[in-house]
Amino acid sequence: MAHLILASSSPRRRELLQQLGLEFEIYSPDIDESILAGEDVAAYVERLACAKADAVLRLFPDAIVIAADTSLGVDGQILGKPESKAHAFAIWSQLSGRKHDVFSGVCVRTKQKKSSIVVRTQVEFQSLSLDDMESYWATGEPIGKAGAYAIQGIAARYIPRIEGSYSNVVGLPLYETVQLLQTVKALN
């Protein structure tokens, strides 16, 4: 297989991709992650994943680039990473006692071909008390996580069920990523 690059600094994406037994390097591009006017969450994550892949391919034109972006959608809003404790509490107040959608855009790119997909998983959160929120914030786990939680960590205690891909909620839907790699002939 050609030189494979994961266009992400996310340790969770690195761990997920390692589960596939692939050898790869990491290069995290700096792109503008602003939400465009009227953009829905699916379009947003796909656009960012493709922008990351394009940016890395410009630097490494002979590589196969895998890029992803994950955000939550609830009430027509895109929920990203918390900017502060107050922001995390506001996010959790929206998620508390209900279902929300986690979207990941994945883009696999070579100089010959570009394939992308958006994967949606529905996650149900239990009702969270202020004590739950305070306790979870104190762990430090919510910092830097889309939706201010990590399903693979302590937050699992607040999630009674999901419908769809677990690895998608972590940050890289593995089944779909393999399918995209196969479309660009990177895997047999």
For the record, the structure tokens of 150 come out as 């990590």
52/45 Cα distance (integer angstroms): 11
Determine whether 62 is an active site residue: no
69 CB-near residues (< 8 Å, 6+ apart): 33, 44, 45, 46, 48, 49, 52, 104, 105
Helix (H) or strand (E) holding 72: strand 64-74
Q: Packing angle between helix 174-183 and helix 11-19, nearest 10 degrees?
A: 70
Do the beta carbons of residue 184 and residue 64 sit within 8 Å?
yes
Of 68, 80, 78, the C-alpha closest to 115 is: 68
Q: Which of 30, 32, 62, 69 is catalytic?
A: 69
Q: Which residues are catalytic?
A: 69
